[in-house]
Amino acid sequence: MDVRKRQPIGIELVKRGIVTEDDINSALQEQRMNPNKKIGEILNDLHVCDSQMLIEAIGEIIGVKGIVLKPSLIKIDVLNYISLEIARRNKAVPFDIENGKIKVCFADTTNTRNIDAVRLLMLNKGLVIDPYITFGNILDDILKNLGGTADRDMSKIGQDDNITEIIDSVIKTAMEKRASDIHIEPERDEVRVRYRIDGELFTATSIPKEKQPQIIGRLKAISNMHQEKQESQDGRILLYDDYNIRVSSQKNVYGEKFVLRLLKKNSNIKSIFELGYPGTEKELNRSINKRNSITIIAAPTGEGKTTTLYSFMDYLNKPEINITTIEDPVEIRIDGLNQIEVDAKSTFSGSLRTVLRQDPDIILVGEIRDKETAEIAIQSGQTGHYVLSTIHTIDAVEVITRLRKMGVPDYDIASTLATAISQRLVRKLCTHCRKEREFTPEEKEVIERIGKRYNVEFNLKGAKTYEAIGCDKCNNTGYYDRIGVFEILNVTDEIKELIMNGASSIEIKKYALQEDYRPLCIDGINKVLEGITNLDEINRKILIF
């Protein structure tokens, strides 16, 4: 039921005598103020007629069965058939099984992609779906009440009067669930708590609105923030032995929002190959650890650039090499490295000038943010050092464009940039519950089309893929942990010449594809064929469909 179909549905409802023209006009007026709400949902909210009669009529118009889905009508354990994440993503709730058919209620049956995703999932369980439609807000309430493992574990949080225990439970449960961040968000009627697990946000619980002042006071107290200030602040929580928790506050219309970043103090650094770096050790050595040069890792925020830098540092760390890092902040402490933390009184560029007088062999600069830092990093590479850093761009070739926009001359880029690496983090399928299946013809077509475009032959003969199902091990998401998808641009003499001649990123990429450069989607598909992840997850990050 997209926007173009809403008015004809209204007219059809009037023709059938279900509602009046005045009802439709009132609903359209309401829809102008809430454009994301469907006309049927608005009519139901206005109580212009019986809900069941209304949804049945809408179902007849669009060709499916309509039902007002109530909890009493749900005859099965929903999470045994579909993970909470997939249910929420596709706005779908299975509610009964009859004669080998599973009844599944959708908020929108015109979205064939959502229906196909659920249909495929149920086919893997030996069931055929019988689709129904209901009002979106009813389905949202059911999905909210279903909850995943985290929701159930935290159902009692916020009911206690002891604010210290509430905050402690929120933080400790996040640690148990492997969350990287906790979002504590004041809303109009409650305080919402969400966890980011494997890159995705999940609603964990809500705390009564009347406890909001106590929550804010407690968080500020334990993170060493000013109680009276309501503008943005940064702090740290050091109450937990194994974690260093960074805290950020930001005022919004309903109060102050807090985001807690959970950093393990003594977490083991994964090897670069455990992170998903493609190729062999010989190929890795060809790309990194070149004196008189710089390696730059490129990706959007939150895609694991810093983790990859740490793995490179761990790989290169030897007693005979002096490695110095400049970070904001130092997230993991590594024995044998000289780690410097940028603070309010220092900058990357200022710290880098000082580091150059400390006889370094290898320098890690947490991020190239401006022209000054870029120029000093480049100069460091030109004077015998090996520099590693990160930058925000969409792919490896665009690193060159970004440096150009910062004002770095083509000569300096060509003479110093050795390797540009781009990456994304994708979720790994949970090995406890993933379900093997054949690739669909459409999926094979996508893989073959990409292989043809980049002159890569993928072996699809007998190849299998896996469906994300969901279990207790993975919080009913179907995924557990993440892995990197990489592309590597080795700046050869020919590419250096192109840069010197002012070639565009399109021209550079065209030439690089003739050598060993392959874009992110190639490594992504390889990891799908290895059974590590699936095409839906790759498409979510790279858009290959």
Tokens found for residue 245: 């928790």
Helix (H), strand (E), coil (C) string for 479-536: EEEEEEEEEEEECCHHHHHHHHCCCCHHHHHHHHCCCCCCCHHHHHHHHHHCCCCCHH
* Domain 147-264 in CATH 3.30.450.90: yes
pLDDT band, very low/low/confident/very high, at 8 (cuts 50, 70, 90): low
Over pLDDT 90: what percentage of the chain?
A: 45
Alpha carbons 24 and 422: distance in angstroms, whole number: 51
Residue 150 has pLDDT above 60, yes or no: no
Mean pLDDT score, 228-232: 83
What is the model's pLDDT at position 449?
95
Alpha carbons 447 and 486: distance in angstroms, whole number: 17
What is the model's pLDDT at position 393?
92
Mean pLDDT score, 261-271: 81
Alpha carbons 224 and 234: distance in angstroms, whole number: 9
The residue among 479, 474, 485, 467 whose CA lies nearest residue 527 is: 485
What is the model's pLDDT at position 71?
84
CATH number of 281-425+482-520: 3.40.50.300
Average pLDDT, the chain: 87
What is the model's pLDDT at position 267?
67
pLDDT 10s digits, 352-379: 888 888 888 998 888 898 898 898 888 8
pLDDT band, very low/low/confident/very high, at 116 (cuts 50, 70, 90): confident
Listed in sequence order, the DSSP H helices in 288-418 are: 305-316, 348-355, 371-382, 398-405, 410-416
Residue 17 has pLDDT above 90, yes or no: no
Out of 6-20, 147-161, 380-394, which region has the weakest mean confidence (pLDDT)? 147-161
What is the model's pLDDT at position 500?
96
Tokens found for residue 480: 């557990």
CATH number of 3-145: 3.30.300.160
Tokens found for residue 103: 């009844």
> 531: phi > 0 → left, psi -120 to 50 → alpha, else beta; which?
left
Whole-structure pTM value: 0.71
What is the model's pLDDT at position 418?
94
Q: How many CA atoms lie within 13 A of 234 on its CB side?
A: 6
Residue 92 has pLDDT above 60, yes or no: yes
Between the CA atoms of 257, 260, 261 and 265, what dihedral angle is there, to the nearest 10 degrees?
160
CA distances from 442 to 128, 458, 463 (A): 20, 15, 14
Residue extents of the structural domains in the chain:
3-145, 147-264, 281-425+482-520
Alpha carbons 146 and 84: distance in angstroms, whole number: 8
Judge whether 377 and 403 are in contact, CB under 8 Å.
Answer: no
294 against 204, higher pLDDT: 294
What is the model's pLDDT at position 341?
84
